[in-house]
């Protein structure tokens, strides 16, 4: 069975083609700058060098068409025609309370994605566009949805999901904490448990997905018990690339009253002009922030310190929420690549049993290996684990089609085995 995974972002499409069973990646790719000038597609077939092409992608539809074009290309493809692809698995950010695990897409699922676009306006519409275009190209094949909110939304206890506002707003509008980036947190926490030689049900892990979008999840005994992002993808938790994270709720109200901002303008500031960009005044890329801070740029130094301090606070608070901690995991673009962020985030946490080995930390860079960066004496293991949301999607899709899928806390993935070889190593 060949399964295509599709992840449509606001201006990107990430894709992969998998041979199942065996979870063998046949090809993977990324289309960037969808809807913008100077688009780029990077396409990699297992065992070959990446192919990069400059091309404009005016819409997600054009991007999806390019995915199928490259997968079937005579020189760079891996299948003879689209008919050889048996199914498509789609990442969808928000399933609300209706969908809390991966499902086969039908009319009800499409309606739920549309309805929950109010909760994820920057994501669900693009996810849905990808589904519609892929269904047009593959109309007679099964399509599945894997929800980014599912891992947290399904299992967090009420004490972690409910806001202390009038209960009627939960009843009328579904205002509660959902949690995001669940596919990533599921994968890396299961991998961390495997690297420790323990079942996930026996360990407490703080999982840190640090990138332009950032989240922390507390996973106790294999179950998410808290998550830093709440109702929206913006206004809670860590400092992100352009998003503010934790914020006094009166601040946007103050700005609307006294700076004359409209609701849309306030939203634009919180989503697109805040985070490390807002603090530094000019940087989103953390490499540029580190370089500028090292060169004496005080605003860049402030952005770096605030971001890492917020991460450190969440590690401590989630350790308390779980009643103890066995491991910390860093993943995603910044988490996997920035030794500076990892060191600063764990600084001063020796009282919790968290001790970083500086040499191991500096050596952990890029998608080369899963690395333990804690010292030999550290009571808490610290890992850098490259995430693999697409593998979770492909495995879920195969299990759904074969009618053997179960909720994540009962479903055992092959990547939970200690001998599992990560996808990026199998790509060659």
Active centre residues (catalytic): 148
Phi, psi of 146, deg, nearest 5: -115, 125
CB 373 within 8 A of CB 356: yes
Residue with tokens 């994605």: 113
Angle between helices 298-322 and 339-346 (to 10 degrees): 50
Could you tell me which residues are beta bridge partners of residue 29?
15, 43
Encode the chain in three state secondary structure.
CEEEEEEECCCEEEEEEEECCCCEEEEEEEEECCCCCCCEEEEEECCCCCEEEECCCCCHHHHHHHHHHHHCCCCCCCCCCHHHCCEEEEEECCCCCCCCCCEECCHHHHHHHHHHHHCCCCCHHHHHHHHHHHHHHCCCCCEEEEECCHHHHCCCCHHHHCCCCCCHHHHHHCCCCCCCCHHHHHHHHHHHHHHCCCCHHHCEEEEEECCCCCEEEEEECCEEEEECCCCCCCCCCCCCCCCCCCCCCHHHHHHHHHCCCCHHHHHHHHHHCCHHHHHHCCCCCHHHHHHHHHCCCHHHHHHHHHHHHHHHHHHHHHHHHHCCCCEEEEEHHHHHHCHHHHHHHHCCCHHHCECECHHHHHHCCCCCCCEECECCCCCEEEEECCCCHHHHHHHHHHHHHCCCCCCCCCCCCHHHCCCCCCHHHHCC
CB 304 within 8 A of CB 337: no
- Distance CA(404)–CA(208), nearest Å, equals 30
Query: Residue 52 has which token pair?
Result: 């990069």
């Amino acid at each position: 069975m060949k399964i295509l995974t599709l992840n449509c972002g606001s201006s990107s499409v990430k894709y992969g083609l998998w041979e199942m069973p065996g979870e063998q990646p046949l090809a993977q790719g990324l289309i960037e700058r969808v809807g913008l000038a100077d688009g780029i597609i990077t396409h990699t077939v297992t065992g070959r060098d990446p192919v990069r092409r400059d091309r404009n992608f005016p819409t997600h539809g054009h991007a999806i068409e390019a995915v199928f074009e490259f997968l079937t290309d005579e020189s760079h493809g891996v299948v003879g025609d689209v008919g050889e692809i048996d199914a498509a698995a789609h990442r969808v950010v928000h399933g609300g309370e209706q969908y809390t695990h991966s499902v086969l897409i039908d009319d009800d699922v499409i309606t739920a994605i549309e309805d929950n676009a109010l909760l994820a306006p920057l994501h669900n519409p693009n996810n849905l566009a990808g589904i519609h275009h892929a269904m047009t190209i593959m109309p007679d094949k099964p399509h599945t949805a894997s929800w980014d909110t599912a891992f947290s939304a399904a299992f967090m206890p009420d004490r972690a999901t409910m806001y202390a506002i009038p209960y009627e707003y939960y009843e009328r509008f579904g205002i509660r904490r959902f949690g995001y980036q669940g596919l990533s947190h599921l994968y890396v926490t299961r991998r961390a448990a495997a690297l420790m030689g323990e079942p996930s049900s026996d360990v407490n892990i703080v999982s840190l997905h640090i990138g332009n979008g950032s989240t922390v999840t507390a996973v106790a005994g294999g179950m998410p018990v808290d998550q830093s992002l709440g109702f929206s993808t913006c206004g809670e938790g860590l400092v992100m690339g352009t998003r503010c994270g934790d914020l006094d709720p009166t601040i946007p109200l103050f700005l609307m009253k006294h700076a004359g901002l409209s609701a849309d303008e306030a939203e634009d500031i919180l989503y697109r002009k805040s985070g490390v960009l807002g603090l530094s005044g000019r940087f989103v890329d953390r490499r540029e922030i580190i370089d500028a801070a090292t060169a004496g740029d005080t605003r860049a130094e402030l952005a770096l310190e605030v971001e890492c301090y917020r991460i450190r606070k969440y590690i401590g608070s989630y350790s308390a929420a779980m009643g103890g901690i066995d491991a910390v995991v860093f993943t995603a673009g910044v988490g996997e690549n920035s030794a500076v962020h990892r060191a600063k985030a764990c600084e001063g946490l020796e009282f919790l049993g968290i001790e970083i080995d500086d040499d191991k930390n500096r050596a952990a860079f890029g998608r080369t290996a899963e690395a333990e960066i804690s010292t030999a004496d550290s009571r808490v293991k610290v890992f850098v684990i490259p995430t693999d949301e697409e593998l979770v999607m492909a495995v879920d899709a195969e299990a759904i089609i074969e009618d053997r899928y179960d909720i994540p806390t009962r479903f055992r993935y092959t990547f939970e085995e200690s001998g599992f070889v990560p996808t990026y190593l199998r790509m060659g």
